[in-house]
Each structure stands twice: as structure tokens, then as C-alpha cells.
Copies of this chain bind each other. A is one copy, B any other.
Amino acid sequence: MRERPVVMIDVARLAGVSHQTVSRVLNHQPNVKPATRERVLEAVRQLNYRPNAMARGLAGRRSRVLGVVSFDTILYGPAATLLGIEQAARAAGYGVSVATLERIDHDGVVSALGALADQSVAGVVVIAPQAAAAAALRTMPKSTAAVAVEADANGEIPAISVDQVSGARMAVEHLLSLGHRKVWHVSGPRDWLEAQGRIEGWRSTLGDAGLAAPRPIAGDWSARSGYAAGLELASRDDVTAVFAGNDQMALGMMRAFHEHGIRVPADVSVVGFDDIPEAEFLSPPLTTIRQDFDEVGRRCIAALLRVIDNGQPERLTHSAVDPLVTPTLVVRQSTAPLRGAAGPGGMTPGPALRATG
């Protein structure tokens, strides 16, 4: 014997009006006498009435829920982006439904998109910065409102991105300014657009300085792959500076260096990417490129709501939302001048290390 939930007609009766007037008040429509409006709101309060989202969506042909497709929400970047999106969406009065990709291929994206469509979401944000995912977006019915993070689907749908190229440029220029002439790169998976952008920024910056880019070493964002890359680099004698594709790989790499008696930054300078919360407390504290994921989330929602309101995907209206978020360089202690004062007293030498053996 469960009590019937309060519905709009109950409010209408209590306020002595029709249910349509209640609807008008709730949807902030004009043309309701202030006194009536107040009476309705009072009834709403008194009954603790909450409109039924499903009925509302069914009648109005729109829902107040946005979908987010993401891959590996444990990675710092996607997790932080998801949080930013969720907060921005909530501020705009929308709920957020998530669908995580188990596979990262075309079908995986299609199926995740389908799962969200089945929940009648009003629009979708896709955080799946792989080439395959970007391709899958193009197969999406154009009636679906969508924006992508870090996926330039050929202008098919709006894309919000951090300026990876410029971030990589900052990292490399920082190392060059310290006197390093050869900058290695441990990249993310080649099918990730971020990885591609960072490779491009790294390579072009070296090129602009008249330097050749060595072969990039491929990782998979994980600390484990950074460790593997570190082992490879440790076996060479021409390594003084490395730009890692993200902080986790930098962490793993520094572990490998440590095991081989290679000192950071005295022997090798390391720059990461992301500025994870732990970066400041690694040994040594990591110089890295910070991305503003909250800003990414905010711009995603702003762009998505615009698409929803227009009823049409906006085509290249880049004037409205600047799609590129600028990252910033955070200098800590994992970078030092090439052959700079080798002993203590040099430039930002980091904390003293003691021998352990």
C-alpha cells in the first residue's frame, strides 16, 4: 500500500487553478498573474511537488539529461573532464548520464551512443579522443546534438580541445631554453588525437629550432609503459631531456631512471603533461603542462546547449565558442639546465639526495 505521488493536478486543485496554469508557472512562462503564480508556488511548496521528468520529456519531446561517452574514466584526463562536464551541466539544469566504452573501436562508440539514445538524452558529449571514435561520430544521425572533446570530426560536430600542439611547444621550448639540444618524446598511443597533437608540437618546435626530432617512443599513457620507455632511454648515452606524453608515463620513466642511477634533473630533465595532483609531490616534483579540464567541461556544455537550442548542429561557428583551451607550463624541479652547475648551488637543483648504498 504505497501512497500515490503528488502530481500536477493535485497542485492545481490546491491552488484552485487548472493544471495548465501550474505548468505555465513551472516553466516560467509569461502571462500568469503574479497573485496566481504565487498561489501555485505556495501549493507546490506545501505538497513538495516535483514534476515527473518522463512525462515532461514525453509531452515536450525533450529531456533534461545529457549523455557523456567516455573511455577509461579512471585516467586523470577523462575523469577530470567528466567532472567538469557534470558540474557545468548541473549548473545549466541538466542531469548527466554516462556510458563508458569497453572497446575503443567504431562499434564500441556506436553502441555507447545507442545506449545513451535509449535513455532519451537531449545531447551527447563524446570524450573519446581516438581516431576510430572520431570516425564513428560521423555515422551518427545528424539530428542528434553532439559535441566532442579532442576530436576534430572534420567540422561535422563542434569540438572542444585543449591546444595540445601549443602545450607540447611550451614543454619543448622550456627544455630548449635550458640548453638541451636533443629532446626525446615518449608519446601516448598513436591513435589518440592528443598523442598526435603532442607529437606534432614536439616535432615542429624542434624543427623550428633547426633540430632533428629523434624517433618517438610509444607508450600507452600508463606508468608501466613509461617505465618501459625509461628502460629503453636509460640504455642510451645521448639522453638529456625527455618530454613525456603525460604525467603517469613521466612517473614510470623516472622510476626506470632511478633504478639505473640516472638522476633527474641533474642527468636528464623530464617534462610531463596534465599536472595531476600528485605531480608536485613526485621525486623530483614534476615540471609539466597543466590542462584546465573544468574550462573544457564548461565550454562543452555551452556548445552543446547551443546546438540543442538551435535544433541543428552548428557548423563551424567557431566565433561563438573558442574551441581551443590554452594549457600552461608549470615549472618544478624535474628540469634543469644542460650541464648547468653540476653540484648543489646550481639552478633549482632540487632537494639534496643522500646515498643509500
Which chain A residues have a beta carbon within 8 Å of chain B's beta carbons?
Answer: 2-3, 50-55, 57-58, 63-65, 73-74, 76, 79-80, 82-83, 86-87, 90, 95-100, 102, 114-120, 143, 222-224, 226-227, 248, 251-252, 254-255, 258-259, 261, 263, 266, 277-278, 280-283, 285, 311, 343-344, 350-357
Contact = CB atoms under 8 A, between A and B. Distances in A.
A280 B223 contact: yes
A352 B355 CA distance: 9
A301 to B, nearest CB: 14
Nearest to A142: B2
A261 B120 contact: no
A63 to B, nearest CB: 7
Q: How many copies does the complex hold?
A: 2
B277 A248 contact: yes
A258 B283 contact: yes
A82 B50 CA distance: 27
Contacts of A83: 73-74, 100
Contact of A281 (B2, B119, B227, B357): B227
A283 B255 contact: yes
A95 B99 contact: yes
Contacts of A98: 86, 96-98
Contacts of A3: 143
